[in-house]
Chain A
């Protein structure tokens, strides 16, 4: 039996909204993309990123809405930053 997912009730939004997660361990290291989270708003995105990606202690840790990322090299079907 396949479960029918009510996205608003189960996940909080009609369409998936992604945030990219960046972090660095100390100030000498580059800010690195470490993953992404799906969340219907920034509060849930902050919490989900925190609980998923803090197995180690970060000097800096931030999230960026994927929709805010402007790719200058990859466009259309070749775009690597996820677009749903």
Chain B
């Protein structure tokens, strides 16, 4: 990161947007790795479309952070696994097609909830980016809900087990009820983390019901949540996952 002194408000905004961007980056990596599990050419098309969107959104979000000093080299190449701020849920790879669909849905729903809070941002360019991300994500939800409807019919018990597990993991992203909410406190976001978390859970349960299953997550363990990274785990991205998703050949990739 370039040597720019950020105000507390700018730092809070930077941290949150970097968490969103990194989560999209790692989710795109998930899709890249799991692509051959697509059930038909149409699934490959859909998964490719989603991963392309996520890479594009991550790149645009990193670009939006350049005014706070984030360089492209740092965003895309120079960070270690410890410095990637993706959601904890993505640390644990999907164990099945059902898990991939459910996990992707949870991450997409959480990001969409967070991004929607910036659609009326004072920075018009960023508000436009948030709107564009929301619009481009609608067909991701169509795809994921379509598959969840299928899975609710063919393997409902497994779907509900995984949905409870992955919802619990995604609830960690929003942190504990108590404690500081710097982006809200500094006027960077109009809704509190807890309001957004409640909206996330409500949307998940409503959409699951519409797909024919229910979601009853256990309370998440969020004692050690870090506001800067929005993570509970302090170990960073698992090494194997990092090795698979990171961009290779720094010397060749540098412009």
Contacts and interface: CB of A to CB of B under 8 A. Distances in A.
A46 B147 contact: no
B149 A48 contact: no
A51 B45 contact: yes
Interface residues of B, number: 18
A11 B153 CA distance: 13
B249 interface: no
Interface centre among B39, B42, B147, B154 (most CB of A within 10 A): B42
A46 B154 contact: no
Interface in A17-63: 37-48, 50-52
B9 interface: no
B45 A44 contact: no
Contact of A47 (B40, B146, B153): B146
Contacts of B150: 8, 12-13, 40-41, 44
Contacts of B139: 46-47, 50-51
Nearest to A45: B146
Contact of A11 (B40, B46, B48, B140): B40
Contacts of B48: 51
B49 A41 contact: no
16 contacts: A8-B150, A9-B154, A11-B39, A12-B146, A12-B147, A13-B150, A37-B42, A43-B145, A44-B149, A46-B142, A48-B42, A48-B46, A50-B142, A51-B42, A51-B45, A51-B139
Given A13-B150, A43-B149, A44-B149, 16 more contacts: A8-B154, A10-B40, A12-B39, A12-B147, A37-B42, A39-B42, A40-B146, A41-B146, A44-B146, A47-B139, A48-B45, A48-B143, A50-B49, A51-B42, A51-B46, A52-B42
Interface of B: 39-40, 42, 45-46, 48-49, 139-140, 142-143, 145-147, 149-150, 153-154
